[in-house]
Amino acid sequence: MSFLRRILTPLAVAALVAGAAVAQTPPVPPRPAAVPRPVVPAMPVPPPPEVDGQSWVLMDYATGQILASKNPDERRAPASLTKVMTDYVVSAEIANGRIHDKDQVTISEHAWRSGGGSTDGSTSFLKLGSQVELDDLLKGMIVQSGNDAAIALAEHTAGSEDAFANLMNAYAKQLGMTNTHYSNASGYPVDDHYSTARDIAILSRALIHDFPADYAISKIKEFEWNGIKQQNRNALLWRDPAVDGIKTGHTAAAGFCLAASAAHGDERMIAVVMGASTDKGRADAAIALLNYGFRFYETHKLYDASKPLATPKLWKGEANQLPIGVAENVLVTVKTGQYDKLKATMDIPATLIAPFKKGQQVGTLRITLDGQPIQNVPLVALNEAPQGGFFSRLWDSILLWFHGSKKADAPAPAAASSTK
């Protein structure tokens, strides 16, 4: 045993030296070189504007970061913002092939009586017993905010509005909406029906990302059905061409609510306002928040998907190294002028033993701003990494006697860019 140890010691030392090199973690590199310009003081970033609303959030679409908020997790009646989830569920069920946008939907007595023209709520004036194409019902629900259209869609999708509400709650849980519970498809006020500004922003982001074609309905300014033309209640569609959604809501209990989104180039912001005092107040609040986000925040792409960020030693594998990276581009949104305060480190176990599946999480990329954590991103294996042959595994088993199991940081890559 002593003879074997004397022979293997130089190899073991080499392996440990290689592991030590992986532990060095340089900071996030400076932004790409630009044309020299005079040095000016950093632009101060003011606090968010004071706006009308009991609770609100401003979210960056690309990263999902909440940039500013007031009472973001306060449970409130969502009114017709409920229909954003109804839209999401119907779109998901269409994508899954369980229903189709050209389906003919029969308008039931429940849909007609609870959401039709005889009520004092928003309606598409659907006729009892008539058949309406599902795609037209979506327009009626989103553009006209028709309660009858929402109920008809729910019944067609799940068999009953109660069953559809269960489906809504299942999707809410899947999306991470932790302070939301739905009891109906329209937003009719009942005690056990609530959401939050944060959750509605999460839902709005998912709708834009997952179903962009259905989301595009929310920028239609008017829709005519049954001889009655109604305008979209989102006043921002007329005030700012960058705004392309999302949904309004109002009841006495909820106040005036608005989920709005706008895009400037590659950047998109989402603002959710709940409990404003007037129709104008909710629109003014949302546009003020959106403009604040575009003016004082910037989004940077730090790392590209599927490009190796580290190639640590792989033990007992066919290959000697395991390329590790991120599954999706890593974006971060920060206040203007704070890019240089970003730092990224990668936590990867010092001992990686095959096999690994492509896409399997291996470690974690941690991003901090001025010492405060802002994102943790999974680091994954970029290739399949099967086990090596018997003798190579045996040889690595011997070498592992001399290799510690201490965790180490992998070096950060040398690339960063801004979307502005």
Let me know if 83 is a catalytic residue.
yes
Please give the Cα distance from 155 to 163 (Å, whole number): 8
Active-site residue flag, 70:
no
Q: What is the dihedral angle through the alpha carbons of 237, 211, 193, 245, rounded to the nearest 10 degrees?
A: -10
Which of 55, 69, 80, 195 is catalytic? The answer is: 80
Q: Are 326 and 309 in contact (CB under 8 A)?
A: yes
Active site residue 397: no
The sign of the torsion formed by the CA atoms of 150, 153, 159, 165 equals negative
Q: Among 222, 292, 234, which Cα is nearest to 260's?
A: 234
Contact (Cβ atoms closer than 8 angstroms) between residue 157 and residue 141: no
| Cα–Cα dist 94/418, whole Å | 36
Catalytic residue among 55, 69, 83, 316: 83
Helix (H) or strand (E) holding 342: strand 342-349
CA R_g for the chain: 27
Classify 17 as helix, strand or coil: helix
Tell me, what amino acid is at 65? Q
Angle at Cα 387 formed by Cα 381 and Cα 389, nearest 5°? 150
SS3 67: strand
Helix axes 82-95, 147-158, angle to 10 degrees: 40
Q: What value, to the nearest 5°, has the Cα angle with vertex 279 and ends 274 and 283?
A: 70
Would you state the structure tokens that stand for residue 396, as one six-digit string?
A: 């690595």
Q: Distances from the Cα of 372 to the Cαs of 12, 305, 357, in angstroms?
A: 38, 24, 32
> What is the DSSP annotation of 160-173?
SHHHHHHHHHHHHH
- Catalytic residue, chosen from 122, 145, 195, 204, is 145
Asked if 187 contacts 82 with a C-beta cutoff of 8 angstroms, the reply is yes
Nearest Cα residue to 172 out of 254, 270, 58, 85: 85
Q: CA dist 181 to 119, 165, 176, 189, Å? A: 24, 9, 12, 12
Catalytic residues: 80, 83, 145
